[in-house]
Amino acid sequence: MNQALLTRLFRSIEGDQNDTLIKVAYSIIENERKKGHTKLADKLDTIIQGNIAKSKKSEPTLKLAKVGSSSDSIYKIPVDRRYRLPLATHIENEHLRHEMVLSPNVEDKILRIEKEYLARERLAHHGLKPRKKILFYGSSGCGKSMAAERIARDLGLPFYRVRFDSVISSYLGESASNIFKLFESIEDYPCVLLLDEFDMIGKQRDANINDPGEIHRIVNILLGLLEEYDGEGILIATTNLEGSLDKALFRRFDDFIEFPKPTEKEIVEILKISFSALKLNSKVHLKDYAKEMIGMSYAIIVKIANDAAKKAIISSREEISVEDLNMALEENRAINR
């Protein structure tokens, strides 16, 4: 049977994961994969997962955000089939983090994403599209998740964080179905969807030779969904482990941005912002401390500043001393090793 006929046939198949017809469809997919027809198998896999998800449209959903005034514009976050848990969490605009210090290179790339989204209609007139599928990678604590929140806040878009504890299921086929439902739900909904620690589901397909095939199926579904996604919102994935991502998955993104650890100059700016509401003893020279903090993440640097400030406040002192900063630095230096 040729590819066109197979595709038409699969689009007509509906049912539950355990239905006989669905099981036969999966057998055909595996057979095509064994023949080396990988792209066809991936396409058929995506179609059948979509049909399974559509057959479950009667399942309950959570209404968490509104766009416009009509009831039809209420976004419904899909839930997992077994426990009815939401597959994403909504964070209100006023709670989004946005004050951050980034390297000039990263800052320019973030601004480019925002400008292209705002100019999406003008770009469309010239047959161009804004960057909508972004991958942030770099060391933990270097601002990847915060940058995603900032983009949502700057653009005035609702922000949702994928709940992988709900998406990933121990039951065969349910993880892939959850991922499909999540992508389908945002197709026509302008928002920023954050897939934090994306390597949890996007790891290399050959990373575990003992895997029964579920991770392989999940990655294949992601390949198809990322390839076809052209929704109204922005998808942002983050990973601390760039090398663990499947290479084919990596290529599906419109842009990928590395978040490096802060430079000495940037560390000074972070400390100034962190101490802006408090006084520093005249003996505290931030440039000297910045040199000692090179190699640390943004998160650790902010923690050191906060720990020093709390010690001063608890001791009822009006200013942060050298001793406060030295103690905080020493305690957190061990964490950074």
User: Domain check: are 150 and 240 in the same one?
Assistant: yes
- End-to-end Cα separation, the chain, in angstroms: 58
Instruction: Answer for the pair 111, 259: CB distance below 8 angstroms, yes or no.
Output: no
User: Domain check: are 231 and 268 in the same one?
Assistant: no
User: Domain check: are 285 and 242 in the same one?
Assistant: no
Q: Is the pLDDT score of 145 beyond 50?
A: yes
* pLDDT value at residue 146: 95
Lowest mean pLDDT among 15-29, 111-125, 310-324: 15-29
* pLDDT value at residue 71: 35
* pLDDT value at residue 321: 93
Domain end marker among 209, 227, 259: 259
Instruction: Answer for the pair 259, 142: CB distance below 8 angstroms, yes or no.
Output: yes
Query: Confidence band (pLDDT; 50, 70, 90) for 175?
Result: confident
The half-sphere exposure of 159 on its side-chain side, counting CA atoms within 13 A, is 23
CATH of the domain at 169: 3.40.50.300
User: Domain check: are 116 and 226 in the same one?
Assistant: yes
User: Domain check: are 80 and 48 in the same one?
Assistant: no
Q: Is the pLDDT score of 183 beyond 60?
A: yes
User: Domain check: are 109 and 132 in the same one?
Assistant: yes
Residue in 268, 191, 196, 204 with CA at minimum distance from that of residue 238? 196
Rounded distance between C-alpha atoms, residue 102 and residue 267, angstroms = 10
User: Domain check: are 205 and 120 in the same one?
Assistant: yes
Q: Which residue has the higher pLDDT, 106 or 22?
A: 106
Rounded distance between C-alpha atoms, residue 295 and residue 262, angstroms = 7
User: Domain check: are 73 and 219 in the same one?
Assistant: yes
Domain end marker among 242, 259, 276: 259
Q: Is the pLDDT score of 265 beyond 80?
A: yes
Type of residue found at 200: M
> Which two structure tokens, joined as six digits, stand for 131?
């960057």
236: Cβ contacts below 8 Å, ≥ 6 apart: 134, 135, 136, 148, 151, 192, 193, 194, 195
Segment 46-72 mean pLDDT: 54
Count up the domains in the chain and report the number: 3
Q: Which residue has the higher pLDDT, 330 or 64?
A: 330
Q: Which residue has the higher pLDDT, 29 or 260?
A: 260
Q: Is the pLDDT score of 323 beyond 60?
A: yes
Q: Which residues span the domain enclosing 8? A: 3-54
pLDDT digits (tens, 9 = 90+) for 70-100: 333 457 788 887 788 888 999 998 899 888 8
User: Domain check: are 94 and 151 in the same one?
Assistant: yes
> Which two structure tokens, joined as six digits, stand for 283?
């003996």
Rounded distance between C-alpha atoms, residue 304 and residue 99, angstroms = 17
Q: Is the pLDDT score of 223 beyond 80?
A: no
Residue in 137, 121, 54, 229 with CA at minimum distance from that of residue 148? 137
Q: Is the pLDDT score of 111 beyond 70?
A: yes
Cα angle for residues 306, 309, 311 (degrees, 5° grid)? 110
Query: Confidence band (pLDDT; 50, 70, 90) for 115?
Result: very high
CATH of the domain at 276: 1.10.8.60
User: What average pLDDT does the structure give for the chain?
Assistant: 82
Rounded distance between C-alpha atoms, residue 202 and residue 10, angstroms = 26
* pLDDT value at residue 38: 79
Domain end marker among 259, 277, 299: 259
DSSP bridge partners of 79:
86
Burial of 142 (0-12, 13-18, 19+ CB in 10 A): buried
* pLDDT value at residue 336: 62
Query: Confidence band (pLDDT; 50, 70, 90) for 246?
Result: low
DSSP bridge partners of 257:
136
User: Domain check: are 115 and 186 in the same one?
Assistant: yes
* pLDDT value at residue 155: 92
Q: Which residue has the higher pLDDT, 29 or 248?
A: 29
User: Domain check: are 75 and 199 in the same one?
Assistant: yes
Burial of 71 (0-12, 13-18, 19+ CB in 10 A): exposed
Burial of 230 (0-12, 13-18, 19+ CB in 10 A): exposed
* pLDDT value at residue 333: 83
Per residue, the 3-state secondary structure of 93-136, as one string, reads HHHCCCCCCCCHHHHHHHHHHHHHHHCHHHHHHCCCCCCCEEEE
Segment 145-163 mean pLDDT: 93
User: Domain check: are 302 and 168 in the same one?
Assistant: no
Query: Confidence band (pLDDT; 50, 70, 90) for 150?
Result: very high
